[in-house]
């Protein structure tokens, strides 16, 4: 699977599990989940992918994470969803944390090619540590503009301990905030 081949395909849609939808995340919205580890974010991502959607027949997903794709596939039973690893190693499904252009392009291309997509961007702290906060924020804002004009949703877990209050406020300015269990 190449970085630039994000065509919506049935083969990339997860099979329904026959369980109920637990997260009412609205299309066109960005959700910042304050938590560590990102359990709620992954649960919401998998739940949306594995259940019937009111707006769409079936939702397609894209995950970008600091966690290795094999671990994510194993734990969350994702068999078809493309998963990119944020890492400095070379590889086909790897995005370098310093290459924000490829990261942004991958997400925007997915939004353009998937009418009802859900995106999980896990590893914002890693992006900030490899660039700087303002550069990472620009990525979020750019992606957010595209999400807002689509029926896609994006879930971004953030560890509140890694950001100061001003940075958190900037991240959450154009997003819905969800408090994870660890953040309460």
Binding stretches for other proteins (CB under 8 A) = 15, 17-24, 39-40, 43-44, 46-47, 50, 74-79, 178, 180-181
DSSP class of residue 119 equals E
Query: Of 27, 41, 24, which is closest to residue 152 (Cα–Cα)?
Result: 27
Q: Which is nearer to other proteins, 69 or 97 (CB)?
A: 69
Question: What's the closest the beta carbon of residue 44 comes to other proteins, in angstroms?
Answer: 8
Indicate the residue among 61 and 97 with the shorter CB distance to other proteins.
Answer: 61
Q: Which residues contact 169 (CB under 8 A, 6 or more apart)?
A: none
**CA–CA gap between residue 99 and residue 63 (Å, rounded):** 17
Q: Which residues pair with 83 in a beta bridge?
A: 63
Q: How far is the CB of 47 from other proteins (least distance, A)?
A: 7
Nearer CB in complex with other proteins: 52/134: 52
Among the listed residues 122, 173, 130, the one whose alpha carbon sits nearest the alpha carbon of residue 148: 173
User: For residue 70, what is the DSSP state?
Assistant: H
Smallest distance, other proteins to C-beta of residue 36, A: 13
The nearest distance, CB 101 to other proteins, in angstroms, is 33
Q: Which is nearer to other proteins, 34 or 150 (CB)?
A: 34
Alpha carbon distance 159, 10 (integer Å)? 34
């Amino acid at each position: 699977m190449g970085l630039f081949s994000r065509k919506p395909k049935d083969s990339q849609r997860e099979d329904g599990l026959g369980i109920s939808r637990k997260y009412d995340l609205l299309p066109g919205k960005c959700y910042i989940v304050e938590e560590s580890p990102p359990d709620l974010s992954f649960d919401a991502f998998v739940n949306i992918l594995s259940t019937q959607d009111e707006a769409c027949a079936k939702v397609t997903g894209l995950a970008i994470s600091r966690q290795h794709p094999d671990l994510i596939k194993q734990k969350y039973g994702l068999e078809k969803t493309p998963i990119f690893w944020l890492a400095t190693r070379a590889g086909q499904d790897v995005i370098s944390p310093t290459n924000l252009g490829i990261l942004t392009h991958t997400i925007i291309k997915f939004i353009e090619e998937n009418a009802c997509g859900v995106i999980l961007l896990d590893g914002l702290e890693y992006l900030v540590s490899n660039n700087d906060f303002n550069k990472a924020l620009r990525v979020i804002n750019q992606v957010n503009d595209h999400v807002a004009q689509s029926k896609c949703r994006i879930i971004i877990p953030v560890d509140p301990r890694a950001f100061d209050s001003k940075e958190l406020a900037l991240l959450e300015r154009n997003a819905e905030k969800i408090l994870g269990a660890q953040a309460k």
